[in-house]
Chain A
């Protein structure tokens, strides 16, 4: 399995986000119930995380295993009224961006990274317009509360 690391902000309710601290699977169960998403997500999906930072009704999860990406995609198909904002990078330089806000607006794209296009030195990279589209779906409050999601660098 490809190594993937990144972060995801889940916007739901303070209770739901806090329940991930009991156990990751408890958190997922609460999130699925809160969002009215398909129950089988609980049986099939994993939400391993290294660190969770909670602010209000949202939480930023840092992860270093690939499972969140698939879980977010599955949740997005049937969940309503929650926000899911993810960016992930794989070991080959590929980057995946996903954002879906509680209003249901969604944007997702993958850029293969420098190794994806051998004819171009820059490769298939994320460009500014894609970033703007992604940011446009993420509420300002989320961007302000979780700057790591945007910068992907630790804030001192």
Chain B
């Protein structure tokens, strides 16, 4: 890891900003995700719906469930479906297909941010009963969160910018907090924890003094918890893998942390040099 740049790189998305029901219908048709002329695909989709309805929508009124079923099975949108449910119900099967949905008029920028937050940082217990759920999340996370940290932004109007993804500090605290939840058995799998290198990269961009203090504390308390839980020997699955990785990659964490310190110092020097120029 090198200093290279002080601020995190940015990636700008250019979504289709058209609105209206016709535009939405056209977008869904253009996706081509629903293979309605394939009886096997439809039969599998029906089986998936039965499972999904039981796991996720048992507490949903029938009228709403019908709306969801219609979209899930046939891509027909007869009423408002919230962005999280819409993403859950859309049968994308690759990163490009997900990006087609993500940048489509079916979502606005606030909803894009919500989709990322929901599918990257949380996972409800029941959802893991869906055989396709983890791959759905993997596709979403791989669309933006591979390689090094980058801040996703969208230019809504000439002078308005919407941030779609979390800042480095939020990413890091979110990551560490979810390690805690996983080790304490509150959750059994969480997409964000599959992105260790991305976390390390985000860590090297935490540069504000007060935020560094908070992350430093969290890094230490997470290490303590990981060591305790590993010593107890009860961890399994993703919890065990994440705990072992946390220990194995302590050097990488230290390195990323030091890089963050260098960036913080360089930024402070830059800012004092600017203010000195201002005084002169």
A binds B: yes
Lowest 9 A-B CB distances belong to which pairs? A46-B61, A46-B62, A67-B61, A44-B62, A43-B62, A45-B62, A44-B63, A48-B59, A48-B61
Inter-chain CA distance A43–B63, complex, in Å, is: 8
Residues on B with beta carbons closer than 8 Å to the beta carbon of A45? 62
| B-binding residues in A (CB < 8 A) | 43-46, 48, 67
Q: Which residue on chain B has the smallest CB distance to residue A67? A: B61
Residues on A with beta carbons closer than 8 Å to the beta carbon of B59? 48
Interface size class on chain B is: under 10
Known: A43-B62, A44-B62, A48-B61. 6 other contacts (CB 8 A): A44-B63, A45-B62, A46-B61, A46-B62, A48-B59, A67-B61
Inter-chain CA distance A27–B61, complex, in Å, is: 15
Inter-chain CA distance A45–B61, complex, in Å, is: 8
Distance in Å: Cβ of B57 to nearest Cβ of chain A: 12
Inter-chain CA distance A83–B61, complex, in Å, is: 24
Interface residues of B in 41-89 (CB under 8 A from A): 59, 61-63
Inter-chain CA distance A48–B63, complex, in Å, is: 13
| A-binding residues in B (CB < 8 A) | 59, 61-63
Distance in Å: Cβ of A28 to nearest Cβ of chain B: 10
Inter-chain CA distance A43–B62, complex, in Å, is: 7
Inter-chain CA distance A44–B62, complex, in Å, is: 6
Inter-chain CA distance A48–B61, complex, in Å, is: 8
Q: Which residue on chain B has the smallest CB distance to residue A46? A: B61
Inter-chain CA distance A44–B63, complex, in Å, is: 7
Distance in Å: Cβ of B229 to nearest Cβ of chain A: 38
Distance in Å: Cβ of A61 to nearest Cβ of chain B: 16
Inter-chain CA distance A67–B64, complex, in Å, is: 13
Residues on B with beta carbons closer than 8 Å to the beta carbon of A46? 61-62
Distance in Å: Cβ of A31 to nearest Cβ of chain B: 15
Q: Which residue on chain B has the smallest CB distance to residue A25? A: B62
Distance in Å: Cβ of A3 to nearest Cβ of chain B: 14
Q: Which residue on chain A has the smallest CB distance to residue B61? A: A46
Q: Which residue on chain B has the smallest CB distance to residue A43? A: B62
Residues on B with beta carbons closer than 8 Å to the beta carbon of A67? 61
Inter-chain CA distance A48–B59, complex, in Å, is: 8
Residues on A with beta carbons closer than 8 Å to the beta carbon of B63? 44
Distance in Å: Cβ of A68 to nearest Cβ of chain B: 12
Residues on B with beta carbons closer than 8 Å to the beta carbon of A43? 62
Inter-chain CA distance A67–B60, complex, in Å, is: 11
Distance in Å: Cβ of B80 to nearest Cβ of chain A: 13
Distance in Å: Cβ of B129 to nearest Cβ of chain A: 17
Inter-chain CA distance A48–B62, complex, in Å, is: 11
Inter-chain CA distance A45–B59, complex, in Å, is: 13
Residues on A with beta carbons closer than 8 Å to the beta carbon of B62? 43-46
Residues on A with beta carbons closer than 8 Å to the beta carbon of B61? 46, 48, 67
Inter-chain CA distance A67–B62, complex, in Å, is: 10
Inter-chain CA distance A46–B59, complex, in Å, is: 10
Interface centre among A43, A44, A46, A67 (most CB of B within 10 A): A46
Q: List 8 A-B contacts (CB under 8 A).
A: A43-B62, A44-B62, A44-B63, A45-B62, A46-B61, A46-B62, A48-B59, A48-B61
Distance in Å: Cβ of A97 to nearest Cβ of chain B: 24
Distance in Å: Cβ of B209 to nearest Cβ of chain A: 47
Q: Which residue on chain A has the smallest CB distance to residue B66? A: A43
Inter-chain CA distance A44–B61, complex, in Å, is: 9
Distance in Å: Cβ of B13 to nearest Cβ of chain A: 34
Inter-chain CA distance A67–B59, complex, in Å, is: 12
Residues on B with beta carbons closer than 8 Å to the beta carbon of A44? 62-63
Distance in Å: Cβ of A51 to nearest Cβ of chain B: 15
Inter-chain CA distance A92–B59, complex, in Å, is: 25
Inter-chain CA distance A43–B61, complex, in Å, is: 10
Distance in Å: Cβ of A43 to nearest Cβ of chain B: 7
Residues on B with beta carbons closer than 8 Å to the beta carbon of A48? 59, 61
